[in-house]
């Protein structure tokens, strides 16, 4: 009997120790889930890997989520976890491997497999663990902290827009030219490209709105208005037309599919319209670029160049259906001219087709489909917050038509944070009480 009691005591002690470890993993996981947002937009190098480039603090945070997620699954597992969360991470890694294999087979230089896979992991694959980490560690309190971090980063981007000299205080890649966009009046914020600046502003506002309380108070509404004003100002100062299209698509999705009151939809549309009018008045570069796109249409220089680059990408992909790697576009298309000399066809879909082949494009589309169905569980039928998450994905789907987003060191963490937001929203303990109130209101 004494031996049985001793054995039971040892089992209890071991269980308590495991619980402590899991609790520590959860805390660390939640900290990193919040930290990846500011660290994705403030580039802080912490080291250098020969042949692969600099390692940033954001890379370390995302790698930490991979390690914590793996340990958490090994320690206690999660039989009820949505299988799409790990599938999203696996698909991102597979795209990198396919790009590496394609580069290796095409150029036979001995470096393609490792280099292409490492570069894609840095730009996209590392951040793909965020939905899995959200499923393992997410909570309502995590959502609240993400809401705060999103607002703070909107304020940071707004400050950089007001005072571009703040860029001088940030470390920058050796080949970065700050004057390339400054000469045309386009703001870049704390990142290095005005389009990324616009996309980040939209994504941060969507994250902030997603985690708004089900019944926001007066202070919550004031903060939301400030976040909208800051994000709209950044969008206008970037002069990004694709950013505006993505934001408009997200708004249209919420208005057309959400079950919020008509008065709220009218208010959203009116606010957006006022924001565009103010943007046209406030930013000359925004006004100039919008007018140019409106009057010239597909003949506009940037639009026409994108179409030419994407057609060239399709022709090259037909010749190399297994891919050529993301860093070999100019090398593979040299005989066709200099259309891809900047290393992109300005579309994540055409870039992936050319880089990872037809199978890689299928993997990317499958990943995006998994992301959409993964967030569909976020009470989207009766909770506007679920619609905000889906609207964020709509925005990124549209962004991807004109740039390589979400395959970007700046935007991938924000994209996957929006996907992972479904886990934090789904854990809101106030939902049942709010649903009961809504049912009583409808009955009345």
pLDDT tens per residue, range 256-309:
887 777 877 888 888 888 878 777 777 777 777 777 777 776 677 777 778 888
pLDDT at residue 336, as a whole number? 57
Report pLDDT digits (tens) over 120-135. Answer: 999 999 999 999 999 9
Query: In percent, how much of the chain has pLDDT > 70?
Result: 81
Bigger pLDDT: 328 vs 243: 243
Which segment of 44-53, 188-197, 397-406, 414-423 scores lowest on mean pLDDT?
Answer: 44-53
Let me know: does 410 contact 264? Beta carbons within 8 Å: no
Report pLDDT digits (tens) over 353-396. Answer: 999 999 999 999 999 999 999 988 755 445 667 788 999 999 99
pLDDT at residue 101, as a whole number? 92
Look at residue 19 and tell me whether its pLDDT is greater than 50: no
pLDDT at residue 381, as a whole number? 47
The secondary structure of 289-317 as a DSSP string is HHHHHHHHGGGSHHHHHHHHHHHHHHHHH
Query: In percent, how much of the chain has pLDDT > 90?
Result: 44
How are the residues of the chain apportioned to helix, strand and coil, as percentages rounded to the nearest 5? 75, 0, 25
pLDDT at residue 8, as a whole number? 44
pLDDT at residue 55, as a whole number? 86
Q: What's the mean pLDDT in 406-412?
A: 94
| Residue-averaged pLDDT of the chain | 82
CA distances from 18 to 11, 14, 118, 132, 199 (A): 11, 6, 34, 21, 41
CA distance 54 to 43: 10
Look at residue 35 and tell me whether its pLDDT is greater than 90: yes
Look at residue 226 and tell me whether its pLDDT is greater than 80: yes
pLDDT at residue 396, as a whole number? 97
Look at residue 12 and tell me whether its pLDDT is greater than 50: no
Binning pLDDT at 50, 70 and 90, where does residue 147 land? Answer: very high
pLDDT at residue 173, as a whole number? 67
Q: Roughly how many angstroms between the first and final C-alpha of the chain, as a whole number?
A: 64
Q: Of 5-19, 30-44, 68-82, 159-173, give the range with the top mean pLDDT.
A: 30-44
Bigger pLDDT: 307 vs 65: 65
Binning pLDDT at 50, 70 and 90, where does residue 22 land? Answer: very low
Tokens 């490792």 identify what position? 114
Look at residue 438 and tell me whether its pLDDT is greater than 70: no
pLDDT at residue 134, as a whole number? 93
Q: Of 59-63, 189-193, 382-386, 421-425, give the range with the top mean pLDDT.
A: 59-63
pLDDT at residue 88, as a whole number? 96
Look at residue 136 and tell me whether its pLDDT is greater than 60: yes
- 422 CB-contact burial (10 Å; exposed 0-12 / middle 13-18 / buried 19+): buried
Bigger pLDDT: 143 vs 15: 143
- Closest C-alpha among 23, 22, 21, 31 to residue 65: 31
pLDDT at residue 146, as a whole number? 95
Bigger pLDDT: 172 vs 347: 347
Q: What's the mean pLDDT in 60-71?
A: 95
The number of CA neighbours under 13 Å toward the Cβ of 178 is: 14
- Using the Cα atoms of residue 143, residue 63, residue 231 and residue 247 in order, give the sign of their dihedral: negative
Contacts of 401 (CB under 8 A, 6+ apart): 242, 347, 348, 349
């Amino acid at each position: 009997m004494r031996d049985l009691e001793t054995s039971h005591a040892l089992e209890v002690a071991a269980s308590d120790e495991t619980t402590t470890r899991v609790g520590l993993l959860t805390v660390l996981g939640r900290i990193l889930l919040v930290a990846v947002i500011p660290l994705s937009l403030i580039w802080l190098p912490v080291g250098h890997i020969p042949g692969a480039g600099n390692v940033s603090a954001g890379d370390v945070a995302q790698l930490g989520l991979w390690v914590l997620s793996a340990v958490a699954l090994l320690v206690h597992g999660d039989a009820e976890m949505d299988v799409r969360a790990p599938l999203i991470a696996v698909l991102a890694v597979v795209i990198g491997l396919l790009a590496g294999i394609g580069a290796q087979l095409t150029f036979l230089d001995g470096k393609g497999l490792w280099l292409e896979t490492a570069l894609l992991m840095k730009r996209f694959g590392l951040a793909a663990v965020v939905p899995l980490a959200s499923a393992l560690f997410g909570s309502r309190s995590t959502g609240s902290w993400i809401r705060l971090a999103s607002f703070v980063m909107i304020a940071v981007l707004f400050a950089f827009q007001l005072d571009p000299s703040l860029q001088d205080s940030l470390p920058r890649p050796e080949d970065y030219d700050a004057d390339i966009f400054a000469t045309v009046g386009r703001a870049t914020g704390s990142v290095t490209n005005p389009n990324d600046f616009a996309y980040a502003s939209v994504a941060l506002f969507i994250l902030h709105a997603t985690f708004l309380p089900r019944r926001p108070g007066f202070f919550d509404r004031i903060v939301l208005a400030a976040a909208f004003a800051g994000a709209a100002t950044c969008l206008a100062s970037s002069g990004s037309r694709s950013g505006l299209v993505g934001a408009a698509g997200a708004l249209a999705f919420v208005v057309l599919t959400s079950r919020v009151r008509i008065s709220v939809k009218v208010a959203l549309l009116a606010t957006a319209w006022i924001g565009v009018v103010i943007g046209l008045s406030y930013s000359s570069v925004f006004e100039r670029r919008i007018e140019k796109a409106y009057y010239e249409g597909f003949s506009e220089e940037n639009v026409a160049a994108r179409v030419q680059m994407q057609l060239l990408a399709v022709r090259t992909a037909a010749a190399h259906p297994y891919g050529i790697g993301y860093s070999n576009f100019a090398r593979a298309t040299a005989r066709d001219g200099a259309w891809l000399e900047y290393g992109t066809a300005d579309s994540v879909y055409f870039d992936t087709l050319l880089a990872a082949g037809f199978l890689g494009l299928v993997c990317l589309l499958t990943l995006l489909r998994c992301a959409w169905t993964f967030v569909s569980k976020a009470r989207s039928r009766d909770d506007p917050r679920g619609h905000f998450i889906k609207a964020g994905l709509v925005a990124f789907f549209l962004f991807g038509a004109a740039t390589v987003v979400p395959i970007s060191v700046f935007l991938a963490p924000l994209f996957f944070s929006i996907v992972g937001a479904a886990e934090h929203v789904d854990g809101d303990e106030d939902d049942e009480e709010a649903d009961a109130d809504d049912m009583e209101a409808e009955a009345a």
